[in-house]
Amino acid sequence: MNVFFVLLLCPFLNVLASSSQTYTPRRPTRRTPDKLTKANKGDRNRLKFTNVLIDKHILERTIRNKIIHFVVRLDEEIMKKMTFMFALPERSIDEDLEYQKALEEELQLELNREFGLIPNEVIFQAGSRRATANDLGAVRRGMMKLALKSFITDIRDKHRTNSIDFTHTCRIIGLFWSMRFPDEYTTNADVEGEVCVIRHKEHIQISCAFYEGDICFVNNENHDLTGGSIIPCLN
């Protein structure tokens, strides 16, 4: 049986006025990811520092603990928040840059809890000083895709003995789908009956369920088995 994926590719104003009054410049609501400026240098450095912390947790084999820290939250928007923390750091959640910065800082604080690293020292040593925000987002997705593929495979292999709830497994799969398809990123990952349904807004991306010891694709509408294991698609 075949599973078909339809991928949709989606492609500051400064107002200057002469007046006797002094105007405070407006803070931009969107990033300018491909151009390094004084205004976005701090923003860029935050992304770089978080990437360093993620890499350290991957090397220390503790990144799964950090994913679980967020994935178990009783928060209706946690899937979307995790997506913008881990998969889309160069964008702004709900077009709100301050909200995005708060998510990045929350992630950074949790990742740095064990290490206690000083951002300025790490960034100075990290290299790639001209990397754009888009570059840094792509690097983060690349690191996380490998970590999540390994995590999901282990959950599949040990699902009879591990303590990870299927609701949390569903969110982890949804997070991987955001890494793989950032333009159609996951906003919701919910278990309906025994089926994990992953959505981008109202659009169902995939549905999957445990079947004979594997996590398999099922039909988005009637949840009948329609495909094989999702594991070969985690690339």
pTM metric for this prediction = 0.81
Overall domain count for the chain: 1
71 in a structural domain:
yes
156 part of a folded domain: yes
Answer yes or no: is 25 within a domain. no
Asked whether the predicted pLDDT for residue 122 surpasses 80, the reply is: no
Domain-embedded: residue 10: no
Q: What mean pLDDT do residues 93-104 have?
A: 96
Structure confidence by residue, pLDDT tens digits, 49-98: 999 999 999 999 999 999 999 999 999 999 999 999 999 999 999 999 99
pLDDT value at residue 10: 30
Rounded to whole angstroms, the Cα distance separating 209 from 230 reads: 10
Question: Interior CA angle at 85 toward 184 and 187, to 5°?
Answer: 35
State the chain's mean pLDDT as an integer: 84
Query: How confident is the model at residue 227, as a pLDDT?
Result: 84
Residue 26 is assigned to a structural domain of this protein: no
pLDDT at 4 over 60: no
Distance in angstroms (rounded) separating the CA atoms of residues 29 and 45: 18
2 contact partners, CB below 8 Å, separation of at least 6 = 227
pLDDT of residue 21 exceeding 60, the answer is: no
The residue type found at 193 is G
Domain with 205 in it? 38-233
Q: How confident is the model at residue 177 (pLDDT cuts 50, 70, 90)?
A: very high
The reply to whether 4 falls in a domain is no
Query: Mean of the pLDDT values across residues 142-154?
Result: 97
Percent of the chain with pLDDT over 70: 80
